[in-house]
A and B are shown apart, each in its own frame.
Chain A
Amino acid sequence: MATTHERIEEATSLLTPGGGELHRSLRQDVWRQFKKHKGAVVGLVLLGLIVFATIFGPMLYGIDPYAVDTSITNAPPSPDHVLGTDNLGRDVLARVLVGGRISLAVGFAAMLFGLVLGAGIGIISGYFRKLDGPLMRVTDLFLALPILPLLLVIIMLWREPLKAAFGEELGIFLLVVFVIGVTSWMQTARVVRGDVLSLKEEEFVLAANSIGTRRRNVIMRHILPNTMSPIMVSAALGVAVAIITESALSFLGLGFPASFPTWGRLLFDGTNYLQISPLRSIVPGILISLTVMSVNYIGDGLRDAIDPRLRSR
Chain B
Amino acid sequence: MGRYIVRRTLFAIPTLVVISLIIFAILDLAPGDPTSQLPLTLPAEVRERIRESLGFNDPFFIRWVKWMQLMFVNEPLNAIDSSFGTCIGDCENRARIISWSSRAPALDIIWQRLPQTLWVLGIAFVIGILIAIPVGVYSAYKQYSMFDNVGTFVTMVGFSVPVFFTGVLAIVIFAVWLKWFPSFYTTTHVVDWTSWDSIWFQIKQMIMPITVLSLFNAAALSRFTRASVLDNLNEDYVRTARSKGLRENKVVMTHVMRNSMIPVVTLIALQVPGIFAGAIITEQIFRINGLGQLLIAAIGQSDVPMVQTLTFMFAFLIVVFNLIADVTYGVMDPRIRYD
List residues of A whose CB falls within 8 A of some B CB: 39, 140-141, 143-150, 152-154, 156-157, 240, 244, 247-248, 251-252, 254, 264, 267-268, 270-271, 274-275, 278, 281-282, 285-286, 288-289, 292-293, 296-297, 300, 313
Contacts and interface: CB of A to CB of B under 8 A. Distances in A.
Contacts of A157: 26, 29-31
Interface of B: 15, 18-19, 22-23, 26-27, 29-31, 153, 156-157, 159-162, 164-165, 168-169, 171-172, 176, 183, 234, 273, 277, 280-281, 284-285, 295-296, 299, 302, 307, 310-311, 314-315, 318-319, 322
Given A148-B277, A264-B164, A278-B172, 12 more contacts: A39-B156, A141-B18, A145-B318, A149-B314, A152-B280, A152-B295, A254-B299, A271-B285, A278-B176, A285-B161, A289-B157, A292-B160
Contact of B281 (A252, A278, A286): A252
B81 to A, nearest CB: 28
Contacts of A150: 23, 26, 311
B307 to A, nearest CB: 6
Contacts of B27: 153
A39 B160 CA distance: 13
B164 A251 contact: yes
A150 B176 CA distance: 34
Q: Which 5 A-B pairs have the closest CB atoms?
A: A146-B314, A285-B165, A293-B160, A289-B161, A292-B160
A297 B162 contact: no
B172 A289 contact: no
Contacts of A149: 277, 280, 295, 307, 310-311, 314
B168 A281 contact: yes
Given A145-B22, A152-B296, A252-B296, A247 B164 contact: yes
A154 B18 CA distance: 18
B156 A288 contact: no
A248 B281 contact: yes
A289 B156 contact: no
Nearest to B164: A251
A23 B171 CA distance: 53
A232 to B, nearest CB: 19
A268 B31 CA distance: 27
- Residue with the greatest number of chain A CB neighbours at <10 A, chosen from B157, B160, B234: B160
A144 B280 contact: no
B176 A144 contact: no
Contacts of A39: 153, 156
22 contacts: A141-B15, A145-B22, A145-B315, A147-B277, A148-B280, A149-B295, A149-B307, A152-B295, A152-B296, A153-B299, A252-B280, A267-B168, A274-B176, A278-B176, A282-B168, A282-B172, A288-B162, A289-B160, A289-B161, A289-B165, A293-B156, A300-B156
Given A251-B164, A292-B162, A282 B169 contact: yes
Contacts of A289: 157, 160-162, 165
- Residue with the greatest number of chain A CB neighbours at <10 A, chosen from B15, B153, B299: B299
Nearest to B173: A278
B177 to A, nearest CB: 9
Contacts of A268: 164
A146 B280 CA distance: 12
Contacts of A247: 162, 164
Contact of B315 (A146, A252, A270, A293): A146
A156 B31 CA distance: 10
A281 B156 CA distance: 22
Contacts of A288: 162, 165
A268 B153 CA distance: 27
A244 B176 contact: no
Given A144-B319, A150-B23, A150-B311, A293 B299 contact: no
A153 B315 contact: no
B26 A154 contact: yes
